């Protein structure tokens, strides 16, 4: 079973360029999340979506935008990348916003130069 | 103030022995959940175990158990009979009911190294 897939696996991006990180889940989970993990640290929430058509800001939303046009997909866009956005990005999902366990994708390693 | 604190940046354990990874948390929410995730060197985040604040019994999942001491606000992970494959980063996380988006707040992690 695929679960959650993320693309690309890794990317090097020039500062000022835009990029969309893709996330797709096949579990029909209602809630989806984007986290970033900086070297040696735990994960911090960027944006979330409790259900298709709705999104919300997490702990560190600046410089990022998301959309949730359908249940399966939750892309994360960096409109104009900066070096401080160098990180590993994890997409996660849970069956509902109040269901406790979040399941994570494999991550995307992004380097902004 | 940190909401989740993991005080052990790194730990060694001998194969087949038990090990306890510490986690303390801070919340005023009466309803919350505590999680442990494993992150091996390959990078994925693997869910291990969950404890709800109202659960009477300590959670167990195979070789993993959660030593939940509510009054002390601690949720330590106990791994019994350590295996070489247990070598990884371990993250404690908390979900508070009243925060937006069911957000998980993570600790800084503990790197566990299992010695043969």
Nearest residue to A104 (alpha-carbon basis) of A96, A88, A92, A95: A92
Mean pLDDT of all residues in chain A?
93
For residue A13, pLDDT over 80 is answered with: yes
| Chain segment B89-98, per-residue pLDDT in tens | 999 999 886 6
How far is A80 from B68, CA to CA, in rounded Å? Answer: 44
- CA–centroid distance for B105 within its chain: 12
| Residue A39: pLDDT band with limits 50, 70, 90 | confident
How far is B5 from A97, CA to CA, in rounded Å? Answer: 25
pLDDT at residue A91, as a whole number: 97
Omega prior to A8 cis, within 30 of 0: yes
> Phi and psi dihedrals of A90, rounded to 5?
-115, 135
pLDDT at residue B8, as a whole number: 94
Query: Nearest CB to A104: which of B4, B44, B109?
Result: B44
pLDDT at residue A2, as a whole number: 65
How big is chain A, counted in residues? 113
CB contact under 8 A, A100 and B50: yes
Q: Which residue has the higher pLDDT, A37 or B1?
A: A37
How far is A84 from B24, CA to CA, in rounded Å? Answer: 29
CB A81 within 8 A of CB A87: no
CB contact under 8 A, B100 and A103: no
Tokens of B59: 């959670």
Interface of chain B against chain A, CB under 8 Å? 4, 33, 35, 37, 43-47, 50, 52, 91, 93, 95, 97, 100-104, 106-109
Q: How many CB atoms lie within 10 A of CB A19?
A: 18
Q: What percent of chain A has pLDDT over 70?
A: 96
CB B74 within 8 A of CB B22: yes
How far is B22 from B62, CA to CA, in rounded Å? Answer: 19
CB contact under 8 A, B43 and A107: yes
For residue B112, pLDDT over 70 is answered with: yes
pLDDT at residue A96, as a whole number: 82
| Chain segment B9-61, per-residue pLDDT in tens | 999 999 999 999 999 999 988 889 999 999 999 999 999 999 999 998 999 99
| Chain segment A40-91, per-residue pLDDT in tens | 778 999 999 999 999 999 889 999 999 999 999 999 999 999 999 999 999 9
Nearest residue to B76 (alpha-carbon basis) of B12, B24, B18: B24
Kindly give, in sequence order, each residue whose CB lies less than 8 Å from that of residue B42, ignoring residues fewer than 6 positions away: none
């Amino acid at each position: 079973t695929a679960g959650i897939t993320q693309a690309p696996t890794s990317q090097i991006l020039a500062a000022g360029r835009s990029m969309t990180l893709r996330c797709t889940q096949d579990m029909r989970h209602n809630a989806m999340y984007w986290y970033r993990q900086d070297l040696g640290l735990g994960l911090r929430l960027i944006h979330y979506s409790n259900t298709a058509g709705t999104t919300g800001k997490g702990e560190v939303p600046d410089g990022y935008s998301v959309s949730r046009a359908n249940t399966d997909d939750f892309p994360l866009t960096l409109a104009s990348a900066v070096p401080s956005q160098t990180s590993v990005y994890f997409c996660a999902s849970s069956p509902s916003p109040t269901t406790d366990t979040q399941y994570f994708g494999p991550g995307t390693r992004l380097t902004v130069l | 103030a940190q909401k989740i604190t993991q005080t052990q940046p790194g730990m060694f354990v001998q194969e087949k022995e038990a090990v306890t990874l510490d986690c303390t948390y801070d919340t005023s929410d009466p309803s919350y959940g505590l999680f442990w995730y494993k992150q091996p060197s390959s990078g994925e985040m693997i869910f291990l175990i969950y404890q709800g604040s109202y659960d009477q019994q300590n959670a167990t999942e195979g070789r993993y158990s959660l030593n939940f001491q509510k009054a002390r606000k601690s949720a330590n992970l106990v791994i019994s009979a350590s295996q070489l494959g247990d070598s990884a980063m371990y993250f404690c996380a908390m979900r508070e009911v009243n925060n937006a988006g069911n957000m998980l707040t993570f600790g800084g992690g503990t790197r566990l190294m299992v010695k043969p």
